Amino acid sequence: MKKKILAAAAMLGAVLMAATGCAGGAGTAGGGGGGDDVITVGFAQTGSESGWRAANTESMKEAFSEENGFDLVFNAADNKQEAQIAAVRNFINQGVDAIVIAPITVDGWDDVLTEAKDAGIPVILEDRTVSASDDLYASWVGLDFEQEGKTAGEWVKENFDGKGANLVVLEGTTGSSAALDRATGFDAAIEGTDITVMDSQTGDFTRDGGKKVMEGYLQKYGSDIDVLFAHNDDMGLGALDAIKAAGLVPGQDIQIVTIDAVKDGMTALANGEFNFIVECNPLLGEQAAELVKKVLAGEEVEKATIVEDQSFTQEQAKEVLDSRPY
Ligand code: GZL
């Protein structure tokens, strides 16, 4: 329930209880049963499509915990945009205090964000962004996807320009800001090289998707493929199965560059199956929770907060693997 309505209800309740001598907790409806200082937050997560998503969900649940003063209403939309929009509409109808969204795709958000604004419920975006006007959300915290794609492209250029290399791409979820911006950055970085992009299709950020699309690539192009760029580790990990099944050696016959740097990806990098990974930090929970508290307290907040990333070679992965937080 909205804090301000709850505060008035709690106040009235307290006055009535004092007047009539009634005992009992002043737990407020719609919250975690605590007093009126509990912040009820609806979090609309994309789903559980990848290792990155699991780490992001864990970070968000840790930050929006009861001991931190929150009552979290969590929804995972199974990577379906219409389900995620329906979840946000539900949060509005429940009268939550704030809404956090990791938007599956950039488009389709104007109506429901306008409804949240009209209902006086602030929206914070975490991870991906939307094409809607930025007056429809209070703030966004996430990563520079275009730079991630550029860093991956610069590695490919440095290692393959001038060799007439053939490259295939496993794209992330169609219409997601992560996939769109990574492609923009990558394409800009390899512009003007003699690297040929033979094919580029979506694997929807999943292992299964990456495996299926890579199987198709291998049937069509076989050993002509020199390099694979996967928009995330999970699709690259799925592609490993296909590459091995085709009798080729990943990391050697086909060199692989991915984005995320989750544990399984870094393990593949350390053991030589991947060749380069650009990190995409999923630990956004603390910053998202701080933004919610500041916005509800009426404090000024930055419209955009970008979290720093790094990148890893095979040698660097061996050094840091055991100390990685996710
Ligand atoms: C990036 C995030 C992407 C990851 C994928 O911030 O949106 O979605 O790169 C995840 O692993 O599925």
Confidence of residue 1 (pLDDT cuts 50, 70, 90): very low
* Matching fold, domains 27-143+282-308 and 145-280: yes
Atom of ligand 1 nearest to the CA of 127: 6
Distance 19 CA to ligand 1 centre (A): 55
- Are the CB atoms for 145 and 185 separated by under 8 Å? yes
Cα–chain center distance at 160: 30
pLDDT at residue 113 above 90?
yes
Residue 31 has pLDDT above 50, yes or no: no
Q: Does the pLDDT of residue 283 top 50, yes or no?
A: yes
From the CB of 280, is ligand 1 less than 6 Å away?
yes
The pLDDT score that the predictor gives to residue 11 is 54
Q: In the predicted model, what is the mean pLDDT of residues 314-324?
A: 97
Return the domain boundaries, the chain: 27-143+282-308, 145-280
E-only strand ranges, the chain: 39-45, 70-76, 98-101, 123-127, 139-142, 166-171, 196-202, 227-230, 255-260, 276-279, 304-306, 311-312
Condensed to tens digits (0 to 9), the pLDDT of residues 289-298 reads 999 999 999 9
Name every residue whose Cβ is closer than 8 Å to that of residue 264 and which is 6 or more positions away in sequence.
51, 233, 234, 237
Tokens of 120: 């006086």
Confidence band, pLDDT 50/70/90 cuts, at residue 195: very high
Please, what is the average pLDDT of the chain? Answer: 92
User: What confidence score (pLDDT) does residue 270 get?
Assistant: 98
Which two structure tokens, joined as six digits, stand for 256?
A: 């692989």
Instruction: Please say whether the beta carbons of 312 and 276 come within 8 A.
Output: yes
- pLDDT at position 36 is 72
Report the relative pairing of strands 139-142 and 123-127 from DSSP bridges: parallel
What's 27-143+282-308's CATH class?
alpha beta
Residue located nearest, by CA, to atom 6 of ligand 1: 127
Q: What's the rounded mean pLDDT across residues 202-222?
A: 98
Q: For 145-280, which CATH class?
A: alpha beta
Is the distance from the beta carbon of residue 127 to the nearest atom of ligand 1 less than 6 Å?
Answer: yes
Length of the chain in terms of residues written: 326
What is the number of the ligand 1 atom nearest to the C-alpha of 260?
Answer: 9
pLDDT score of 308 more than 80: yes
pLDDT by residue (tens digit) across 119-160? 999 999 999 999 999 999 999 999 999 999 999 999 999 999
Residue nearest (by alpha carbon) to ligand 1 atom 3: 178
What percent of the chain lies above the pLDDT cut of 70? 89
According to the model, what pLDDT value does residue 226 have? 98
pLDDT at 196: 98
Atom of ligand 1 nearest to the CA of 231: 9
The band of 118, judged by pLDDT with boundaries at 50, 70 and 90, is very high
Terminal CA-CA length for the chain: 33
Instruction: Tell which one of 127, 206, 281 to mutate to probe ligand 1, the residue whose CB is within 8 A of the most ligand atoms.
Output: 127
Distance, CA 52 to ligand 1 centroid (Å)? 6
CB-ligand 1 contact for 260 (6 Å cutoff): yes
